[in-house]
Amino acid sequence: MNTALSAMGRRTAPPPISWLMQTALSRPKLISLAAGFTDNATLPVKISRQMLDQVLRSAKTGRPALQYGITAGETNLRQLTARHLQELDLGGTPGRRPLIQGQRHAVPPEIHPWEHLMITGGSQQLLYLTMEALCDEGDLVLVEDPTYFVFLSILQSRGLHARGVRLERDGLDLTHLEIVLQRLKHSGELGRVKALYLVSYFHNPTGATTSFEKKCGILKRLKKFEGAAGHPIYLIEDAAYRELRFGRDAAPRRPRSSRRDDPTTPPSALMAPGALARVIYAGTYSKPYAPGARVGFGILPEPLFTAVQRIKGNHDFGTANLLQQLLAGALQTGLYNQHVAKIQKRYRRKAQIMRQALARHFPPDVEIWEPGGGLYFWARLPKHASTGVKSKIFRTALKNDVLYVPGGLCYADDPSRRKPDHEMRISFGNGSEENIRKGIKRLGEVLRKFL
């Protein structure tokens, strides 16, 4: 008898990372530089306890937190999140405000409209819902080359195709984007292109940040090809790591003029001209606050907002109210911002330790991309080397109890180029300072052996 599974049920591959995680669990002495987990020691245990105690202290606030809400999310959290985004986009020196029609403007209120902001079960759910509302099987999404591998898993599962656009250290290569779009136009595939997916801050896996100018450039180029496509081509900005910046202007609420200008935290694409109709912004409280609370959000233009809201209604009628009230409390009291300032310091310190260890232990012919925030370093070995799960380097590293994410896992199945196989993502997010030092030392020794 055949299986009854749907095409999607049959097709959906196991997550590439699950094998790595299983491996980590089965070797207790293994140091994992692979996981994208956040720092365990700074998780906001006390703040969460305090906030939840506050919410559940009275029936007046406790009952609504334990009852059904509305699909798009609680109004207070939606408003607080929109205001928080506005602060992120205006934070920094006034000079950093983007040019709109040649003049530096204050942000009009509709740039961060809470009515078009939806609360989701992490930003991952927002990405999934967006793909459901936007893409039919066989459609195309442009992605950075490399990109976030769980987004690639969504595409794989849903029968969607990806085309990679070259990534430079300051973000997407605009010239290559134009070439890719031209090629798709010539091959008659442009009508299937629905969106470009961009991890805009401290990119997963490379740590690269796309400048505001580049975001404007991307939108302009997508717009240019819309006529030939016959429909809008959206820019999906995944800003999951945005708040994990190392910059010393990290502390919130300082007067703007005293903040240094920080190229690692440009305004979001929402601030670009024409963004309101074309940018889907995906944000999350998982990375800056707590993955175990799993609250994310998105801003979506119409008709996407309505479509995504309806589909989310069928998924879960809205994200758990109790978690929404936890986040609302943390934002409202300012404890959220205090916590973020704390983890920024912590990640800065851990990144510094990894940087020093890399300089000391890695062979000089490995190119290191240093991030300005986030959780990852990106190491590029000479092109003849292979870092894949079957390579000598990977297997020897594993034997020496150290694990990394092979770069190849982060590249889309794009028939127009060979998948690079000589890179690795190395995370300092979850390890202790000691394990970061030890792990990089072990990995460096393996590399010196083979390079």
Which residues in the 229-248 window bind a copy of itself by CB under 8 A?
A: 230-234
The only residue of 9, 94, 109, 273 in contact with a copy of itself, by rule CB under 8 A: 9
In the region spanning residues 75 to 114, those forming contacts with a copy of itself, defined by CB under 8 A, are none
In the region spanning residues 44 to 73, those forming contacts with a copy of itself, defined by CB under 8 A, are 44-46, 48-49, 52-53, 56-59, 62-69
Q: Which is nearer to a copy of itself, 42 or 356 (CB)?
A: 42
| # of chain residues touching a copy of itself (CB under 8 A) | 86
Q: Using the rule CB under 8 A, is 29 a contact of a copy of itself?
A: no
> Cβ contacts of residue 362 below 8 Å, gap of 6+?
368, 379, 440, 443, 444, 447
Structure tokens belonging to residue 362: 């890695």
Closest CA to 366 of 391, 390, 393, 348: 393
Q: Which is nearer to a copy of itself, 330 or 357 (CB)?
A: 330
Please give the Cα distance from 73 to 318 (Å, whole number).
6
In the region spanning residues 318 to 347, those forming contacts with a copy of itself, defined by CB under 8 A, are 319-323, 326
Q: Binding pattern to a copy of itself, positions 291-310, x when CB under 8 A?
A: xxxxx-------xx--xx-x
Q: Which is nearer to a copy of itself, 91 or 159 (CB)?
A: 159
HSE-up of residue 280 (Cα within 13 Å, Cβ side): 29
Closest CA to 42 of 346, 374, 324: 346
Q: Which is nearer to a copy of itself, 304 or 331 (CB)?
A: 304
Q: Using the rule CB under 8 A, is 1 a contact of a copy of itself?
A: yes
Q: Using the rule CB under 8 A, is 188 a contact of a copy of itself?
A: no
Total count of residues recorded for the chain: 451
Is the bond preceding residue 303 a cis peptide, omega within 30 degrees?
yes
Please give the Cα distance from 299 to 284 (Å, whole number).
12
Closest approach of Cβ 59 to a copy of itself, in Å?
A: 6
Q: Which is nearer to a copy of itself, 150 or 251 (CB)?
A: 150
Rounded to the nearest angstrom, the gap between the alpha carbon of residue 286 and the centroid of all alpha carbons in its chain is 11
Q: Which is nearer to a copy of itself, 36 or 92 (CB)?
A: 36
Please give the Cα distance from 209 to 82 (Å, whole number).
22
SS3 of the chain: helix, strand, coil, percent, to 5: 45, 15, 40
In the region spanning residues 360 to 399, those forming contacts with a copy of itself, defined by CB under 8 A, are none
Give the binding range for a copy of itself (CB under 8 A) out of 85-93, 95-103, 285-293, 355-363: 285-293
Q: Which is nearer to a copy of itself, 305 or 362 (CB)?
A: 305
Number of CB atoms found within 10 A of residue 144's CB? 31
Q: Using the rule CB under 8 A, is 136 a contact of a copy of itself?
A: yes
The only residue of 150, 228, 389, 451 in contact with a copy of itself, by rule CB under 8 A: 150
**Contact in structure between 233 and 193 (CB atoms under 8 Å):** yes
Cα Rg of the chain, angstroms: 22
Give the binding range for a copy of itself (CB under 8 A) out of 150-158, 261-269, 362-370, 401-409: 150-158
Q: Using the rule CB under 8 A, is 224 a contact of a copy of itself?
A: no
**Contact in structure between 202 and 376 (CB atoms under 8 Å):** yes
> Cβ contacts of residue 101 below 8 Å, gap of 6+?
273
Closest approach of Cβ 451 to a copy of itself, in Å?
A: 33
Closest approach of Cβ 421 to a copy of itself, in Å?
A: 24
DSSP annotation of 373? B
Q: Using the rule CB under 8 A, is 187 a contact of a copy of itself?
A: no
Give the binding range for a copy of itself (CB under 8 A) out of 146-154, 259-267, 359-367, 383-391: 146-154
CA triplet 189, 195, 198: central angle to 5 degrees?
Answer: 130
Task: State how far the alpha carbon of 67 is from the alpha carbons of 62, 328, 345, in Å.
Answer: 9, 16, 37
Give the binding range for a copy of itself (CB under 8 A) out of 109-117, 213-221, 286-294, 377-385: 286-294
